[in-house]
Amino acid sequence: MLPYFVSYHGNPHSRTHTYGWESESAVEKAREQVANLIGADPKEIIFTSGATESNNISEHKCVLDSCRALEGEGFKVTYLPVQQNGIIDLQELEKSLTPETSLVSIMTVNNEIGVMQPVQEIGAICKSKKVFFHTDAAQAVGKVPLDVNKMSIDLMSISGHKVYGPKGVGALFIRRRPRVRVEPIQSGGGQERGMRSGTVPTPLVVGLGAACEIAEREISYDHAWMEKLSQRFLDKIYSKLTHVIRN
């Protein structure tokens, strides 16, 4: 990131001079690095200020507040409870989908208790019902393997600092085939394919890209290491306490 703070000051959207080309090249490399981590095409990645903005763009107006705002505009929103183990009931999800349903939004990994939702199964249900599927993957990207195509994800929110990148930057995956049409929530210069107007902060985007590249390279090792730590933690608890139930 440092060179883009102190040496390369070009606007990545100014393509008529060398300074702009240098920054544009760095931004596009970062876009590719983010895309590679989730199995997407670089053209499907839009840079934002973070997962909160990505969530708001996805839902056209952080997720619960967006839903309440939509209800105020006349949209019908269905809130599904989770089971005792924190996992959504797939049968209830499928029953709740109607011909008028436009979007399903479910968090990939919960930020408080760590529950991982069956995203691939949810995506398959949504695809079969021709309903767009959005997931807030801020807590999952770089920590568990994700593939937007295998999981039939249409929209995915990504946070920079949750993947050990800088704060103040994030990304939104928007599927191109079949195309998901999303309206921007702000107008301006039309940057990021018109989805997020405003000059992209090159240093932050470069940092996010580098973090995603490292995560892609080390995710298998990190996942195995955390599994060992988790099992060691549980073994210690089981050996010292009785009547312990793992959620």
- Is 134 a residue whose pLDDT tops 60? yes
Instruction: Count the neighbouring beta carbons within 10 Å of the beta carbon of residue 36.
Output: 15
What is the torsion angle, in degrees rounded to the nearest 10, for the CA atoms of residue 155, residue 159, residue 160 and residue 163?
-100
* Domains defined along the chain, listed by start: 2-218 (3.40.640.10)
The answer to whether the peptide bond before residue 118 is cis (omega within 30 degrees of 0) is no
Distances (CA, A) of 184 to 31, 71, 135, 146, 154: 19, 19, 18, 25, 16
The whole-number pLDDT of residue 239 equals 95
Question: Regarding predicted confidence, which is higher, 112 or 228?
Answer: 228
* pLDDT, tens only, 178-237: 888 888 888 888 888 888 999 999 999 999 999 999 999 999 999 899 999 999 999 999
pTM of the model: 0.89
β partners of residue 161: none
